[in-house]
Chain A
Amino acid sequence: MILRPFTAIVKREFFAYFYSPLAYVILTAFLLFNGLTFGGILQFLNQPDQPRTNLMAVFFGTGFFWFFMFIVPSVIAMRLIAEERKAGSIEALLTAPVDESVVVAGKFAGAWLFFVFLWLPTLLYPALLARHGSVDPGPIAASYVGVFLIGALFLALGTFASALAKNQIVAAILGFLFIITAFFIGVFNSLITDPKLRDAFAYLNLMEHMDDFSRGIVDTRRIVYVVTAVVFFLFLSSKALEANKGK
Chain B
Amino acid sequence: MLDVEGLRKSYYGAMAVSDVSFRVESGEILGFLGPNGAGKTTTMRMITGFLPLTAGKVTLDGLDITERPIEAKRHLGYLPETLSLYPEMRVIEYVRFRAELCGVARRDLKSRVDEAVQKCFVDDVAMKPIANLSKGYKQRVGLAGALVHRPKVLVLDEPTVGLDPRQIVKIRDLIRELKKDHTILLSTHILPEVELVCDRVVIIDKGKIVATGTPDTLRTQMSQTPGLLVAVKGEISEADSVLRKLPGVTHAARIGAGGETRVVLEAERGVDLREAIFREVLTRGWTLLELTPRQASLEDVFVRLLSHEPDPVTDALPAAVEAEQEVSS
Contact = CB atoms under 8 A, between A and B. Distances in A.
A5 B71 CA distance: 14
B300 to A, nearest CB: 34
Given A1-B103, A245-B51, A89 B70 contact: no
A95 B51 CA distance: 10
A5 B70 contact: no
A97 B97 contact: no
A16 B86 CA distance: 9
Q: How large is the interface on B (under 10, 10 to 19, 20 to 34, 35 or more residues)?
A: 20 to 34
Given A8-B97, A8-B100, A16-B88, A94 B74 contact: no
Most buried by A among B71, B76, B100: B100
A4 B45 contact: no
Query: Per DSSP, are chain A's interface residues mostly helix, strand or loop, or mixed?
Result: helix
Contact of A245 (B52, B82, B86): B52
Contacts of A67: none
Contacts of A7: 100
Interface string B83-101: 1111011000000011011
A91 interface: yes
Interface in B142-157: 142, 145-146
B50 interface: yes
Contacts of A99: 70
B141 to A, nearest CB: 11
A98 interface: yes
Interface residues of A, number: 26
Interface string A223-247: 0000000000000000000000110
Given A9-B101, A95-B73, 12 more contacts: A5-B102, A8-B97, A89-B85, A89-B86, A91-B82, A91-B84, A94-B49, A94-B50, A95-B48, A97-B69, A97-B76, A98-B101
Q: Which 9 A-B pairs have the closest CB atoms?
A: A19-B88, A8-B100, A88-B84, A97-B73, A89-B84, A246-B51, A91-B80, A95-B48, A87-B84
Interface of A: 1, 4-5, 7-9, 11-12, 15-16, 19-20, 87-89, 91-99, 245-246
19 contacts: A4-B101, A4-B104, A5-B102, A5-B103, A12-B97, A16-B86, A91-B50, A91-B78, A91-B80, A91-B84, A92-B84, A92-B85, A93-B101, A96-B98, A96-B101, A98-B101, A245-B52, A246-B45, A246-B51
